[in-house]
Chain A
């Protein structure tokens, strides 16, 4: 997709005055809509809509041999599909680099927050641990897939239950327990992506804003006794962050954090 220069200029002029085409403030998110249990065959699953952007996420559990450097620790694997279903510009074939990047950033955000108690995923030290497979699918792209995909991943994890493990035969039964995954709620971090459009910074970008932004800075944010704790970061696209840009972004993050953290917490643990 490429946008006419005129339209691009108009979006930037608007944003300069603190306005957006859909009437939102620069730091305002669209409405979220969460639906749990989109697959009965998943250990945990959900769909999350943010405005018209929608993703599906699901958790499957399996047992594997632990890595040598963590004989008592379970593992996590995150995949993300940006298929032709979600966007006219997404291809049918091989995964886009965008999908690989997004999956890895989401993976790090979850991993580094410390929300997963890895040792509680150990079945037998050095021999068998649980592997969490978190798979996320874009269904409709209307901007900000990054934040929505990360949130859907969190919600699927938060609602996942262990399957029954048959110790005698060493296999996973086709049945769920009532035991949730070992998650430390207080360590939860969520993804927040800031885009620089013109000279301004916006949250929850629309498709158009995303396309014309100079760069994005994605952050996984956790609460540390009322203070923001950043647990993962990634700058995306070619533009460079100046010193004053960084100041503005961090102020925006500090100002938005509390409200967003509360909202995300409610959506994830409800």
Chain B
């Protein structure tokens, strides 16, 4: 394939192309919850809480075969520069749903018919990649809550800036406009079987590039998983990486 040179030669914050932002993770931050965690990547911070398994309302959602997992995602009004109206937006509803599907891939709720596990994610401060930060926090919160899980999940947003692939996109990169512009690819991977539990993309990408993006996500997720596991071993302690 004839490659023209990419217009994106250096990352705005000086990171290597496959380098993640500084990570901070902490498990056990909301005492009244069954599980909770904070996951921070650069300036993007997500707070996740797990409540349940518990009785499900409304009743018509009950599944007599197994429990269900329900995911709520919200950004705090002051998490971004242009204030967001408090509550769940249409964007928030969609992100909640795709995150719910991702986590349903790994939880095993067969022992909890008619019950619900509620996962609630709030974003106090955003600098792109909030849904993947939310998933990383949620996975830790689920594990702390003792919800049966087949494996863990980790997530990262891979970006394509013109022709250059980068891991863990920040807001400035998300707004890159030269050449082919910015393509955002949030990916959530399961830790053991390496299945793709969440995949979204907006922008433009070739098949070889997509393959490369997924392998970049795999590497990134392996590193994130390490930090998640460390944080789970020492609840209450902030783990950096």
Contacts and interface: CB of A to CB of B under 8 A. Distances in A.
Real binding pair: yes
Interface of A: 38-43, 45, 52, 54, 56, 58-60, 62, 79, 81, 83-88, 92, 95, 133, 135, 137, 139-142, 174
B164 interface: no
A204 B119 CA distance: 29
A139 B43 CA distance: 19
B169 interface: no
Contact of A140 (B31, B78, B80): B31
Given A41-B125, A52-B32, A133-B77, A88 B72 contact: no
A56 B70 CA distance: 24
Contacts of A60: 77-78, 83
Nearest to B34: A88
11 contacts: A39-B78, A52-B31, A58-B76, A58-B124, A59-B78, A62-B83, A83-B122, A88-B54, A133-B77, A135-B77, A142-B32
A140 B118 CA distance: 15
A39 B124 contact: yes
B41 to A, nearest CB: 14
Contact of B31 (A41, A42, A137, A142): A142
Contacts of A43: 78
B30 A41 contact: no
Interface string B116-143: 0010101011100000000000000000
A39 B47 CA distance: 13
Majority DSSP secondary structure for residues of B touching A? loop
Most buried by B among A42, A62, A95, A133: A42
4 A-B pairs with least C-beta separation: A58-B78, A42-B78, A60-B83, A39-B125
A85 B120 contact: yes
Given A56-B76, A58-B77, A174-B81, 12 more contacts: A41-B78, A41-B126, A45-B124, A58-B76, A83-B122, A84-B51, A85-B120, A95-B87, A133-B83, A137-B86, A140-B31, A142-B31
A38 B77 CA distance: 12
A85 B78 CA distance: 17
Given A39-B79, A60-B77, A79-B86, A87 B32 contact: yes
Given A85-B47, A85-B49, A139 B78 contact: no
Given A41-B78, A135-B77, A141 B32 contact: yes
A116 B112 CA distance: 52
Contacts, number: 86
A56 B76 CA distance: 9
A92 B70 contact: yes
Nearest to B85: A79
Contacts of A58: 76-79, 124
Contacts of B47: 85, 139
Interface of B: 30-33, 43, 47, 49, 51, 54, 70, 72, 74, 76-81, 83, 86-87, 118, 120, 122, 124-126
Nearest to A133: B83
Given A39-B125, A92-B70, A135-B86, A84 B118 contact: yes
B136 to A, nearest CB: 17
Contacts of B51: 84, 88
Given A84-B118, A84-B120, A85-B47, A92 B83 contact: no
B79 A84 contact: no
A158 to B, nearest CB: 15
Given A92-B70, A140-B32, A142-B31, A85 B122 contact: yes
A158 B104 CA distance: 43
B30 A39 contact: no
Most buried by B among A59, A85, A139: A85
A124 B70 CA distance: 48
A195 to B, nearest CB: 19
Nearest to A42: B78
B35 to A, nearest CB: 12
Contacts of B74: 83
A134 B124 CA distance: 14
Most buried by A among B47, B78, B80: B78
B76 A92 contact: no
A248 B54 CA distance: 42
Most buried by A among B76, B80, B122: B76
A133 B86 CA distance: 11
B32 A38 contact: no
Contacts of A133: 77, 83
Contact of B122 (A87, A88, A95, A137): A137
